Amino acid sequence: MKIVSQNFAHGGVQGVYTIDSTFCQCEMTFAVYLPPQAKDGPCPVLWYLSGLTCNHSNVMDKGEYRKMAAELGLIIVCPDTSPRGDGVPDELTNWQMGKGAGFYLNATEEPWSQYYQMESHIMDELPKVIKDHFPVDMDRQGVFGHSMGGHGALTLALKNPDTFKSCTAFAPIAQPMTADWSRPALEAYLGPDESKWRAYDATALIEDGAKFSEILVDQGEADNFLENGLRPWLLEEACKTAGIPLTLRMHPNYDHSYFFISSFMDDHLKWHKERL
């Protein structure tokens, strides 16, 4: 692990680090915030997964998570959203595919499969690095995210309820299999057999029997992507049928931006802390 930067913030340390990723076949960057409590012993760790076009830095700059994380003693890990570098396949004119759009899955189709192994990067590779280098209590992990990262948080939590004790999302893509902005990516990464997409779709996972203790979702009503891209009511319906407790909060006037995320960040951190 290489240190890119470390800045003192709210009594803790906001760091940016890189590793040579075996799964993504490139150098992968991630941010870690250590609260002041990390000096005294292991802290619970909360994974934040970002949305389309973002990397590790957007939420680090605009998410406003440090003050409350410092108060609650939470370590916040913010991975990147895709492999990076000149050799990595991309669609330069399409922000919904390729770099910045890894969708937290393991691609099976060429040319993506060699690099786009984000699920393994996040679930297998990064946790080992985090465990080796930071004072984390790996028995107390939560996951949350925004938009594509909300999809990532929901699907990874539903598939790994023993790893993640808590899960929340800001404006998640509730059903990527049927949303215009994610269907093409799923097909490109996973091939035409839609049955294989179900492992990367929160509502499909729930329909197929996945369970989670409790989920919080915040959604802005002025979000331009609400009707076609996000559709939290599909998650609500699936959770209701499956008996998964979902707290879905609709917020008038809020859009899809970090202004929305940061407005409810403290609520999410408190939610996780209470369950970790």
- Which residues are marked as active site? 147, 223, 256
Binding test (CB under 8 A) with its own copies, winner from 86, 195, 253, 274? 253
If one asks whether residue 4 binds its own copies (CB under 8 A), the answer comes out as no
Report the run of H or E that residue 188 belongs to, with start and end. helix 183-190
In terms of Cα–Cα distance, which of 113, 126, 114 is closest to 48? 126
Distances (CA, A) of 43 to 69, 126, 131: 11, 17, 11
Q: How far apart are CA 224 and CA 84, in angstroms?
A: 28
If one asks whether residue 11 binds its own copies (CB under 8 A), the answer comes out as yes
Residue entry with tokens 């202004």: 259
Interface stretch with its own copies, choices 9-17, 100-108, 143-151, 162-170 (CB under 8 A)? 9-17
135/161 with CB nearer its own copies:
135
Q: CB of residue 108 vs its own copies: minimum separation in angstroms?
A: 38
271 token code pair: 């939610």
Backbone phi, psi, residue 168, to 5°: -140, 165
If one asks whether residue 91 binds its own copies (CB under 8 A), the answer comes out as no
Chain-centre distance for alpha carbon 75:
15
Binding test (CB under 8 A) with its own copies, winner from 266, 267, 270, 275? 266
User: Footprint of its own copies on residues 22-81 (CB under 8 A)?
Assistant: 61-62, 64, 66-67
Backbone phi, psi, residue 118, to 5°: -70, -35
The answer, yes or no, to whether the previous bond of 111 is cis (omega within 30 of 0) is yes
Q: CB of residue 265 vs its own copies: minimum separation in angstroms?
A: 9
User: Footprint of its own copies on residues 217-246 (CB under 8 A)?
Assistant: 220, 222
Q: CB of residue 104 vs its own copies: minimum separation in angstroms?
A: 25
Interface stretch with its own copies, choices 4-12, 16-24, 168-176, 211-219 (CB under 8 A)? 4-12
Q: How far apart are CA 164 and CA 128, in angstroms?
A: 15
Binding site residues, its own copies, CB under 8 A: 7-11, 14, 61-62, 64, 66-67, 220, 222, 253-255, 257-260, 262-263, 266
